[in-house]
């Protein structure tokens, strides 16, 4: 409003004037139509010197000056684009990208005869593209991507005979119709054509061949069809990138198309995935550019063998032939691809043995040849793949023992040999692979012998599945050294003995399946005390005694406990427990306790009391070295000042939490446990008590980092701190209690829990998280990289306001971008990263860790952006990223990307958890109610934002500031749709 008032006053003659009156009037009228959300955005607009205004550049022609450039990109401006911009008659550059502009693109822009660059990308612009833009004869650069533009692409945009266009980006909109490039169109200077993610149909225009200077063509994720043009691309000597994936292209013979591409001697990336391609891989595949680094042919119907000529592509780093109908054997010549880093051959019909020559591809980091019909043994030469991180051989007919040599793959994070015919014991060398961080799956084989003790060395593995084998012996208690374990499946084996109590103390365990074994003894109470356990199957064993009544057992179905004839308990359908034995037991105790009570009391007084006297006295818990800003109100004014943290005694914390009792436990993690408590004054608190013995070796550092971050930052979307307690034997953080728990609890409620979860709440929570993270990255007194953003670290207060919590592995950094440096010095700090600590422990959570951290990358805000993107996709789809990794072999980004944009319904959260009409019609869109239209657009925007944040290349991800702006805009738009009367204010 301030900006609008200023503009009105100046236009009314109440402000300073300038000789360039027309340009000044045009800019002030433009200013009147927008909302400036930050005073720093346009601080000097309205000052006497027009050419000193932010974003304004002039060309001086005495005695007048004219505006030639208006660059207001990324300033978080909101509003509409005034047609008065067209009065800037000398304008050459107009950049309003990365803002929140709504409404239509003014057709008056077509009168800017000198315009060379028009950048309106990443806004909320709707309507059609004005045909008038096609008359801008000097336009070189046009970027309208990332908006909500609809309708057809004006023919005038591509068919101006004097067109000098070099760059056209209309991607990520809702444009329909055909690509309007007729035979009379000659974009002879065009180098970049980006039309991906629209609703374009028809064929690729043959007249595109007139644009022989093209370097980058991206038409993926449309409805383009017809046969692949056999002679179109042989006239592009400078072509580097060709993306045609996720369309409806057809072909029964790939040879003519690949032959035409052989003339593109500079080609680096070719994507033809998810089309309707048939035929075989022809010999001409080897004639493609020697510079080719990526080849995507997955999700088609390509048959026949893998032609050995593919080995001629010696610079290939990525080859994906998965999800086709390829047959025959894997050619040994594939080892000629010595620079290959990722090889996908899964879900085909390949037969024969795995060639041992694959061990010669020393850069190979991922090998997926699962779901084929391969036989023979696993080659010993895999041990030579020193960079191998993922090895997926499941669902084949492989036989023989697991090679001991696999233990030499010391970087292996994910090993899946399930659903084969492997025999023998699990080698100790493989069981002791400390590098495994995702999962080890050896299920559905014919493995024998005992569980190796070396399994306890896998302290970072997330899932362990050894089910459906012939494994015997007991469950070793040392298995609890696998402290990161979330999923443990030992079902359908021949395991005997008792279930160790320590299994229930695994801090992250969510799924435990021991069904169909011969386990005996009682069910450990630790399973009932686990705050993380969600699924439990103990059926068909020999358990005895009473079924516990707490924790996961409150919602356990009878099928999960059936087949244990000596169990009794409260579960519907079970036999109830008799009371005779219990009565006798209690009577015995009533006789025994008085007899032993007095001697024990005397022994305690004589031995224990002197020890107690020597203990230090009660000390107050506080943070003496940190002060925080406190917001107080004085009338209408907000005053910030600092004060020391309140002092709370250790005894008060004990009283508040019932002696840190299990009934007050609300969560647990690697570094400790969180208890709910009530102080003497009635204040509800959460006490995070750090485990000094089993906290992973960095408990002290975690405590220090949390104190440092919480003591130096303050924001409504970051967890506050009441105080902290630090003693040699006890360290705890006292935090305000969040009544609605964690975001994870709302996304994945336990049985019997139901939460109201709709799009409005989803967007509000995601906006809160984005605002909190943007503050950490861009605005706090010291920049902070969180390193572990995930739903369990997002807490919700009484009003469902989200706050980011758990800064135990955060990093304080100087600078920004990829060049960030850690503020806290020391060798350990310099070597540590968000992905892995100096001790080799997993820092961060699997599924949320940015891919560059797995390659030794240092902590960066880009990594947090990746984690936010995963979180956003998770709350939209309702799928944990680890579920996708375990069952699909994909990252959540890859899984969603496969269904985007034409099959989004299949990835959206189930209707009973997200109260929406999940169909996203396109052809009937005009008949949708206004609110449903907006909801549809918001959902698509959220998916697109999540995909943008989780791009593999860190530099391609948006910043948290940009993300927060986008989320705020979506929240605002959704609020208007829910309350239509607010539209009257626009």
Q: Which residues contact 314 (CB under 8 A, 6 or more apart)?
A: 290, 336, 337, 338, 339
CATH of domain 740-986: 1.10.510.10
Residue 568's pLDDT is 93
Local confidence band at 216 (pLDDT 50, 70, 90 cut-offs): very high
Confidence tier at 983 by pLDDT (50, 70, 90): very low
Give the per-residue pLDDT at 979.
Answer: 60
pLDDT at 12 over 60: no
More confident residue, 798 or 7: 798
Name, in order, each residue with C-beta under 8 angstroms of 868's C-beta and a sequence gap of 6 or more. 769, 770, 773, 789, 949, 960, 963
**What pLDDT score was predicted for residue 288?**
96
Looking at the predicted structure, is the pLDDT value of residue 743 above 70?
Answer: yes
The two structure tokens encoding residue 403: 């090679």
Does the pLDDT at position 402 exceed 90? yes
List the binding residues: 688
3-state secondary structure at position 132: helix
Q: How many CB atoms lie within 10 A of CB 82?
A: 20
Band (pLDDT 50/70/90 cuts) for residue 115 is very high
Place 332 in a pLDDT band, splitting at 50, 70 and 90.
very high
- Tell me the C-alpha distance between 286 and 309, whole Å: 5
Give the Cα separation of 602 and 867 in Å (integer): 58
H helix or E strand, kind and range, residue 296: strand 294-296
Q: Which CATH superfamily is domain 35-451 in?
A: Ribonuclease Inhibitor (3.80.10.10)
DSSP 8-state assignment for residue 836: B
**Cα(255)–Cα(453) distance, integer angstroms:** 55
Do residues 301 and 274 lie in contact, with contact meaning Cβ atoms separated by under 8 Å?
A: no
Average pLDDT over residues 963-979: 83
- Smallest Cα–Cα separation from 94: which of 73, 79, 63? 73
Q: How confident is the model at residue 956 (pLDDT cuts 50, 70, 90)?
A: confident
Beta strands in 553-679 (DSSP E): 566-568, 620-621, 628-634, 637-643, 648-649, 665-669, 672-678
- Mean residue pLDDT of the chain comes to 81
- Looking at the chain, the whole-number percentage of residues with pLDDT higher than 90 is 47
Q: Taking Cα atoms as reference points, which of 73, 75, 70, 76 lies closest to residue 29?
A: 70
The phi and psi torsions of 604 (rounded to 5 degrees) equal -65, -40
What pLDDT is recorded for position 110?
Answer: 94
* Bridge-based pairing state of the strands 303-304 and 325-328: parallel
Give mean pLDDT, residues 82-86. 93
CA-CA-CA-CA torsion sign (601, 603, 609, 614): negative
Q: Please check the confidence at residue 302 and state whether its pLDDT lies above 90.
A: yes
Coil, strand, or helix at residue 501? Answer: helix
Which residues define the annotated binding site for ATP?
688
pLDDT in tens, 639-663: 223 334 456 777 778 887 887 877 7
pLDDT of residue 36: 75
What's the pLDDT at 758? 82
Q: Six-digit token pair at 132?
A: 């008038």
Q: Is the pLDDT of residue 637 over 60?
A: no
78: DSSP letter: E
Between the alpha carbon of residue 543 and those of residues 496, 552, 750, 923, the distances in Å are: 11, 17, 25, 59
Mean predicted confidence (pLDDT) in 775-782: 84
pLDDT at residue 824, as a whole number: 43
Lowest mean pLDDT among 19-28, 107-116, 505-514, 611-620: 611-620
Residue 755 banded pLDDT, cuts 50, 70, 90: low
CATH class entry, domain 619-737? alpha beta
Spans of all domains in the chain: 35-451, 619-737, 740-986
The residue with tokens 């940009």 is 962
Q: Tell me if residue 343 falls in helix, strand or coil.
A: strand
Cis peptide before 63 (omega within 30 of 0): yes
Burial class (CB within 10 angstroms; exposed 0-12, middle 13-18, buried 19+) of 844: buried
- Out of 169, 788, 806, 864, the active site residue is 788
The answer, as to whether pTM is greater than 0.85, is no
Highest mean pLDDT among 6-15, 55-64, 852-861: 55-64
| Token pair 């690949």: residue | 258
Contact, 95 vs 119, CB < 8 A?
Answer: yes
Q: How far lies 374's CA from each of 350, 378, 471, 574, 670, in Å?
A: 6, 10, 25, 46, 40
Two tokens, residue 498: 């008792």
DSSP string, 220-285: -SSEEEEEPPSSSGGG-TT--EEE--SSEEEES--HHHHHHHTT-TT--EEE--SSEE-SB--GGG
In 607-758, alpha helices (H)? 609-613, 650-656, 699-712, 743-747
User: Is 788 known to be catalytic?
Assistant: yes
């Amino acid at each position: 409003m301030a900006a609008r008032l200023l503009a009105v006053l100046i236009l009314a003659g109440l402000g300073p004037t300038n000789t360039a009156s027309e340009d000044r009037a045009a800019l002030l009228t433009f200013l009147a139509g927008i909302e400036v959300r930050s005073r720093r955005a346009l601080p000097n607009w309205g000052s006497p010197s027009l050419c000193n205004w932010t974003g304004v550049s002039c060309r001086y022609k005495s005695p007048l000056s004219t505006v030639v450039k208006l660059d207001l990109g990324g300033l978080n401006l909101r509003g509409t684009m005034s047609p008065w911009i067209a009065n800037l008659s000398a304008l050459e550059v107009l950049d309003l990208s990365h803002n929140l502009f709504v409404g239509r693109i003014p057709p008056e822009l077509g009168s800017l005869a000198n315009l060379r660059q028009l950048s309106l990308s990443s806004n909320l612009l709707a309507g059609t593209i004005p045909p008038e833009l096609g008359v801008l004869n000097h336009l070189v650069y046009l970027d309208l991507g990332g908006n909500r533009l609809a309708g057809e692409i004006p023919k005038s945009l591509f068919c101006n005979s004097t067109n000098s266009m070099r760059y056209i980006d209309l991607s990520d909109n809702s444009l329909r119709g055909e690509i309007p490039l007729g035979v009379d169109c000659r974009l002879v200077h065009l180098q970049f054509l980006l039309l991906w993610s629209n609703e374009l149909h028809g064929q690729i225009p043959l007249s595109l061949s007139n644009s022989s200077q093209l370097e980058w063509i991206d038409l993926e994720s449309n409805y383009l069809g017809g046969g692949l043009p056999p002679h179109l691309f042989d006239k592009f000597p400078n072509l580097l990138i060709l993306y045609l994936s996720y369309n409806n292209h057809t072909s029964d013979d790939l040879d003519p198309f690949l032959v035409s591409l052989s003339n593109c001697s500079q080609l680096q990336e070719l994507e033809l995935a998810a089309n309707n391609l048939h035929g075989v891989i022809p010999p001409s595949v080897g004639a493609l550019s020697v510079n080719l680094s990526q080849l995507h042919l997955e999700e088609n119907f390509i048959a026949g063998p893998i032609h050995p000529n593919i080995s001629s592509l010696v610079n290939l780093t990525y080859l994906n032939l998965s999800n086709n109908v390829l047959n025959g054997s894997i050619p040994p010549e594939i080892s000629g691809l010595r620079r290959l880093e990722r090889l996908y051959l899964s879900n085909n019909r390949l037969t024969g043995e795995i060639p041992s020559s694959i061990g010669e591809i020393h850069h190979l980091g991922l090998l997926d040849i699962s779901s084929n019909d391969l036989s023979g043994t696993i080659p010993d030469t895999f041990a030579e793949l020193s960079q191998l991180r993922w090895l997926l051989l499941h669902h084949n007919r492989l036989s023989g023992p697991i090679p001991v040599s696999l233990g030499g793959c010391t970087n292996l994070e994910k090993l899946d040999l399930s659903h084969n015919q492997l025999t023998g014991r699990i080698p100790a060398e493989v069981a002791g692979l400390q590098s495994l961080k995702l999962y080890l799956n050896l299920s559905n084989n014919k493995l024998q012998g005992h569980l190796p003790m070396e399994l306890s060395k896998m302290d970072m593995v997330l899932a362990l599945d050894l089910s459906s084998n012939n494994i015997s012996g007991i469950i070793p208690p040392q298995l609890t050294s696998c402290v990161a374990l979330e999923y443990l499946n030992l079902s359908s084996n021949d395991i005997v003995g008792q279930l160790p109590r320590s299994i229930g103390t695994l801090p992250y365990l969510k799924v435990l399946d021991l069904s169909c074994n011969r386990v005996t003894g009682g069910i450990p109470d630790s399973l009932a005390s686990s705050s993380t356990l969600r699924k439990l199957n103990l059926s068909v064993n020999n358990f005895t005694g009473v079924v516990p009544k707490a924790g996961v057992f409150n919602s356990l179905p009878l099928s999960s406990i059936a087949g244990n004839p000596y169990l009794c308990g409260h579960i519907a359908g079970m036999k109830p427990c008799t009371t005779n034995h219990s009565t006798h037991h209690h009577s015995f105790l009533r006789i025994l306790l008085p007899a032993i009570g007095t001697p024990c009391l005397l022994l305690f007084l004589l031995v224990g009391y002197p020890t107690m006297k020597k203990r230090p006295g009660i000390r107050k818990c506080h943070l003496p070295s940190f002060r925080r800003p406190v917001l107080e109100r004085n009338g209408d004014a907000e005053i910030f000042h600092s004060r020391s943290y309140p002092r709370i005694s250790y005894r008060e914390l004990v009283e508040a939490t019932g002696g840190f009792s299990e009934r007050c436990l609300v969560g647990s993690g690697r570094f400790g446990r969180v208890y709910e408590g009530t102080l003497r004054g009635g204040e509800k608190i959460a006490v995070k008590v750090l485990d000094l013995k089993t906290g992973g070796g960095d408990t002290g550092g975690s405590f220090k980092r949390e104190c440092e971050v919480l003591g130096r930052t303050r924001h409504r979307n970051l967890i506050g701190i009441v105080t902290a307690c630090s003693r040699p034997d006890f360290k705890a953080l006292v935090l305000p209690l969040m009544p609605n728990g964690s975001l994870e609890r709302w996304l994945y409620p336990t049985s019997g829990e139901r939460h109201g979860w709709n799009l409005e709440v989803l967007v509000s929570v995601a906006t809160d998280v984005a605002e909190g993270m943007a503050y950490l990255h861009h605005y706090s007194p010291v920049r902070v990289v969180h390193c572990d953003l995930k739903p369990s670290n997002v807490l919700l207060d009484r009003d469902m306001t989200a706050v980011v919590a758990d800064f135990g592995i955060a990093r304080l950094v100087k600078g920004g971008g990829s060049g960030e440096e850690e503020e806290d010095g020391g060798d350990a700090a310099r070597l540590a990263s968000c992905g892995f600590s100096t001790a080799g422990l997993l820092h961060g959570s699997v599924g949320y860790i940015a891919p560059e951290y797995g390659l030794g990358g240092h902590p960066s805000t880009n990594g947090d952006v990746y984690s936010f993107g995963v979180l956003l996709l998770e709350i939209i789809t309702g799928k944990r990223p680890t579920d996708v990794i375990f069952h699909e072999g994909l990252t959540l980004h890859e899984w969603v990307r496969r269904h985007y944009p034409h099959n989004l319904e299949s990835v959206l959260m189930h209707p009973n958890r997200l109260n929406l009409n999940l169909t996203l019609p396109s052809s009937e869109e005009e008949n949708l109610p206004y609110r449903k239209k907006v909801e549809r657009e918001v959902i698509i925007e959220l998916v697109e934002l999540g995909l943008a944040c989780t791009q593999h290349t860190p530099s391609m991800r948006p910043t948290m500031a940009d993300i927060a702006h986008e989320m705020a805009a979506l929240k605002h738009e959704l609020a208007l749709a829910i309350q239509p009367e607010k539209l009257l204010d626009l």
